[in-house]
Amino acid sequence: MTTNLVWLRSDLRVSDNMALYAACRDEQAQVMVLFMATPEQWRQHEMAPRQAQFIYDNLRLLQADLAGRGIPLYTLTCDDFAASVEQLRQFCQQQHVDRVFYNYQYEINERQRDAAAEKSLSEQGIVCQGFDDSVLLPPGSVLTGNREMYKVFTPFSRAFVKRLQQGLPECVPAPRARQNAPRIQQPELTPFGYPLAPYDDALFPPGEAAAIARLRAFCQQPVTAYHQDRDFPAKQGTSLLSAYLATGILSPRQCLHRLLREHPNGLEDERCFVWLNELIWREFYRHVLVAWPHLCKSHPFISWTNHVVWRSDPQQLLAWQQGKTGYPIVDAAMRQLNTLGWMHNRLRMITASFLVKDLLIDWREGERYFMSQLIDGDLAANNGGWQWAASSGMDAAPYFRIFNPTTQGERFDKQGEFIRYWLPELRHVPDAEIHQPHDWAKKNQQKLDYPLPIVDHKQARNRTLGAFDAARKETGNSNA
């Protein structure tokens, strides 16, 4: 009997899982599933402990689901990717595996691991097959007329939609219960050897069923208001699907097909397309990592920004991390991140701009801190977002476009509803004064248990413009 192994990574689901589907097509084959935790690798990449807990909880539910289909799920723990290749080889040898199926990951370390694994396994006579599962369209399939990867998002999005209009990527069904599989007792899930931290399981309930239910509910109606509500953090205007996409509990194809089932004109309907375009941003950053793998190594895309002289100020960095900068919208956002492991997308841009453009602290400090907190941490999206804010990446905001944190708060949380929720010390400040509470306190002779602004925005803006101007002039503004 042939034995097929599915090597799970960021694809913790049974529905629309290309590797799992392919492994189960031969109904006579024995199928087993393996997940390998790599705690040392996770530490190097600053994985949030709450994300590790979320992965563990989802693996537990996935194991139960697979058991009902006659498929055992094993877990192994090995320090890093190099060790995982050897452990995989040994596991395949012990279990007499004939074929290994897996879904691609696009980060450089992961691609090197997969190449080493395929080489090692092929030497043992084991056939490996990989799939572009975590994307709608494979990297390298959406190119300019010169057959190059796009460097700007908008034309990439247009070309991407054109490809979708020519033919949608298909979803594959979940495998049926194995006819020839005996009743199995699932192996015990081994501990990860990595710190775990609780998360809000009401906000992010684990499990594929919960993820699909949330997707369906969002696509039925809220998606049509997404374009109006998405920038206002006090509203429930976003899908809250990012954690499920980051860990592969949902696939982007499931998102696309559910959207189009509820809204058949979703590729053209602006109300729905705004959300779909966010999925295309996710694709863009994955395609970018394959085209320019050095971005995985904390290098900027725009090379002259390497010459920006960043400030080292541990106290101000800590104030930013703890939500104690004296700018209410920034502090409320950072406290949301620290408490929930999630932050509203508009606030991710505001807080990133503040760290880089107001404090002139290296964007990589922020990138690492976000990854250490986010339940939806994803290297491609996180790196892309931070480089956008730092004016160092693909289709980045021009370096001279600097968010004013006060006016951003006034625009997107006018009455201060979001701010008061996360900064209860400002609950008595009137709506009109909530974004500059110390001015109100001074006028009304009130004492506030809230820090003074750690930087003057106007002065900070001028300092940042000077630092970027100097770096640009030093290198002749080369984008190579």
Predicted confidence (pLDDT) per residue in 423-445, tens digit? 999 999 999 999 999 999 999 99
Per-residue pLDDT reduced to its tens digit, 134-162: 999 999 999 999 999 999 999 999 999 99
CA–CA distances in Å: residue 407 to residues 120, 228, 319, 456: 56, 19, 20, 14
CA dist 456 to 99, 441, 459, Å?
61, 18, 6
pLDDT grade for 397, boundaries at 50, 70 and 90:
confident
Predicted confidence band at 398 (pLDDT cuts at 50, 70, 90)? confident
pLDDT over threshold 70, residue 183: no
Active site residue 363: yes
CB atoms < 10 A from the CB of 309, how many? Answer: 12
Is 42 an annotated catalytic residue?
no
376 annotated among ligand-binding-site residues: yes
Compute the distance between CA of residue 424 and CA of residue 418 in angstroms, rounded to an integer. Answer: 10
- Does CATH number 3.40.50.1360 belong to domain 303-478? no
Is 275 annotated in some ligand binding site?
yes
Q: Which of 17, 107, 109, 281 is catalytic?
A: 281
Q: Is position 366 annotated in a ligand binding site?
A: no
> Any known ligand binding at 16?
no
Span 53-70, average pLDDT: 96
Helix (H) or strand (E) holding 101: strand 99-103
Three-state secondary-structure class, residue 171:
coil
Q: Does 285 count as an annotated binding residue?
A: yes
Nearest to 258 by CA among 13, 20, 69, 15: 15
pLDDT score for 177: 86
CATH number for the domain whose boundaries are 135-171+206-292: 1.25.40.80
What are the domain boundaries of the chain? 3-133, 135-171+206-292, 303-478
Out of 42, 320, 386, 440, the active site residue is 386
Residue 396 main-chain phi, psi, to 5 deg: -75, 160
Average pLDDT value for residue range 194-217: 97
**Residue 284 marked ligand-binding:** yes
Kindly tell me the sign of the dihedral angle through the C-alpha atoms of 121, 124, 129, 133: negative
The answer to the question of whether 353 is labelled as a binding residue is no
Reported confidence tier of residue 401, pLDDT bands at 50, 70, 90: confident
What type of residue sits at position 195?
P
438/450 Cα distance (integer angstroms): 9
**pLDDT of res. 477:** 67
Give 74's contacts (C-beta < 8 A, 6+ positions apart): 32, 33, 34, 35, 91, 187
Of residues 274 and 190, the one with the higher pLDDT is: 274
- For residue 72, pLDDT over 80 is answered with yes
Confidence class of residue 121 from pLDDT cuts 50, 70 and 90?
very high
In this model, does residue 201 exceed pLDDT 80? yes
CA nearest 279: which of 266, 290, 291, 289? 266
pLDDT (tens digit per residue) in 123-133: 999 999 999 99
Closest listed residue to residue 12, CA positions, set 42, 49, 52: 52
pLDDT tier at 182, thresholds 50, 70, 90 = low
Question: Residue 480's pLDDT is what?
Answer: 36
Indicate if the alpha-carbon torsion angle 313, 315, 321, 326 is positive or negative. Answer: negative
pLDDT of residue 34: 97
What number is the average pLDDT over the span 408-419? 97
Name the active-site residue from 40, 262, 338, 345.
345
Cα 365–370–376 angle (5° rounding)?
A: 155
Of 7, 42, 342, 363, which residue is the catalytic one?
363
- Confidence at residue 180, expressed as pLDDT on a 0 to 100 scale: 64
Counting every residue written for the chain, the total comes to: 480
- Cα dihedral sign, 67-69-71-75: negative
- Residue 478's pLDDT band (boundaries 50, 70, 90)? very low
The string of pLDDT tens digits covering residues 218-265 is 999 899 999 999 999 999 999 999 999 999 999 999 999 999 999 999
Q: Is 386 a catalytic residue?
A: yes
SS3 30: strand
- Pick the closest to residue 34 from 65, 57, 61, 12 (CA basis): 12
- CA 163 remoteness from chain centre: 24
The pLDDT-based confidence of 479 (bands split at 50, 70, 90) is very low
- The answer to the question of whether 7 is labelled as a binding residue is no
> Of 107, 118, 208, 278, which is the active-site residue?
278
Question: In CATH, what number does 3-133 get?
Answer: 3.40.50.620
Q: Active-site residue 281, yes or no?
A: yes
Write b or e for each residue in 43-67: b if 16 or more Cβ atoms lie within 10 A of its Cβ, otherwise e: eebbbbbbbbbbbbbbbebbbebbb
Tell the residue number behind the tokens 């991390």, with chain if given. 321
Given pLDDT bands bounded at 50, 70 and 90, which one contains residue 122?
very high
Averaged pLDDT score across all residues of the chain? 95
Check if 292 is active-site: no
378 is in an annotated binding site: yes
Q: Cα-flanking dihedrals φ and ψ of residue 49, to 5°?
A: -55, -35
Mean pLDDT throughout 348-356? Answer: 98
Position 93 confidence tier, pLDDT thresholds 50, 70, 90: very high
Q: The whole model's pTM is what?
A: 0.95
262, 292, 310, 433: the active-site residue: 310
Model confidence pLDDT, tens digit, residues 317-343 = 999 999 999 999 999 999 999 999 999
Tokens describing residue 106: 């696009």
Q: Mean pLDDT throughout 192-209?
A: 96
d(CA 92, CA 17): 21
